[in-house]
Amino acid sequence: MLEMRFRIGGLIIYLCLASSLYAQKGVEIGGWIGASHYFGDLNNLYRLNEPGLAGGLIGRYNIDTRLSTQLLFNYARLRGDDSKSNNLFDRRRNLSFFSDVIEICPSISLNFFPIIHGRPENGISPHITTGLSLFYHEPKANYQGQTYRLRSLGTEGQPTNQEYNSIAAAWFIGTGVKLDISYRWSINIDLNVRYAFSDYLDDVSQTYPNYGTLQSERGTIAVALSDPSIPSITGEKVGRTGFQRGDSKDSDMFVTVGVGLLYFFGRLDCPSISHPE
């Protein structure tokens, strides 16, 4: 009889553990908030002095205790300003932009250690994430108290209706830490990088245009925002036709760092242990 009790108890414990592991499959939904930063032609020295607000929503499906798929809907404010650079040429070039980025990002995440909700000893793990970022961006600049959309001005001489696309893609890669605070709730701290397949997040990539043509096709505002450079002592500006305005060999990138709070919708059913009479 005692042996039978041990067998029944062992079976119940096994069922409990199996149920616990199976129950890790499920959906997590939450949000995050943090900061964003742009790196590119207007921040080629990787300055960290122009952060912007960032945040978004997270939908995640846990395949098991280590692997999950997720879909992110994010917002990020990006900006760059030559006047804040330590490089003398950049400051004289005097270009600037800001952009509100709206992003959707399907990705997959791998925990270094198993995460088992409701079990403190398995409630924390670093993780890595990779996926694809699809985002909308519209670089803008301020001039004489007004805000202008730079893409529509063709500041590098793009023909009308042949400007760069406002929808772009990027390789998404990140790392972070996941920490359970209860069976249902967890905190995520993430650093995510987007390596864009576009060099026009900042409206800067190639060379200065022919200003006569730009003037006739786009107007005086386009000319002013194409080359707002500070003249030298002799009155010469940076933006001479055909001279380098940006570096098309290196695409732009942006980074977000943030803290997220997620709610787990999984269910944990564990049979109660009872002793036969």
* Better-predicted residue by pLDDT, 242 or 273: 242
pLDDT at position 41 is 96
10 vs 183, more confident: 183
Residue 114 contacts by C-beta under 8 Å, 6 or more apart in sequence? 65, 66, 122, 125
Give the SS3 label for residue 44.
coil
Q: Which residue has the tokens 């149920």?
A: 19
Q: What is the mean pLDDT of residues 165-172?
A: 98
User: Could you identify the residue written with the tokens 């290196």?
Assistant: 250
Q: Which class does domain 26-264 fall in?
A: mainly beta
Is 18 a residue whose pLDDT tops 90?
no
Please state, as a whole number, how many other Cβ atoms lie within 10 Å of the Cβ of residue 46.
Answer: 8
Q: What is the mean pLDDT of residues 149-169?
A: 96
Q: How far is CA 195 from CA 75, 98, 132, in A?
A: 16, 18, 10
Burial of 155 (0-12, 13-18, 19+ CB in 10 A): buried
Percent of the chain with pLDDT over 70: 87
Q: Which amino acid is at 60?
A: R
Best CA proximity match to 140, nearest among 130, 150, 131, 132: 150
Higher pLDDT, residue 19 or 172: 172
Distances (CA, A) of 168 to 48, 105, 158, 171: 24, 12, 18, 11
Spell out the domain ranges in the chain: 26-264
Please report the pLDDT score of residue 266 as a whole number: 74
Q: Up-side HSE of residue 215: CA atoms within 13 Å toward CB?
A: 7
Tokens of 180: 């359970």
Please give the mean pLDDT across all residues of the chain: 89
244, pLDDT greater than 90: yes
At 21-47, the pLDDT tens digits run 444 688 999 999 999 999 999 999 999
* Residue 81, phi then psi, degrees to nearest 5: -150, 115
**What is the C-alpha separation between 104 and 163, in angstroms, rounded?**
23
Q: How many CA within 13 A on the CB side of residue 38?
A: 29
pLDDT of residue 12: 40
Predicted confidence at residue 3, as pLDDT, reads 54
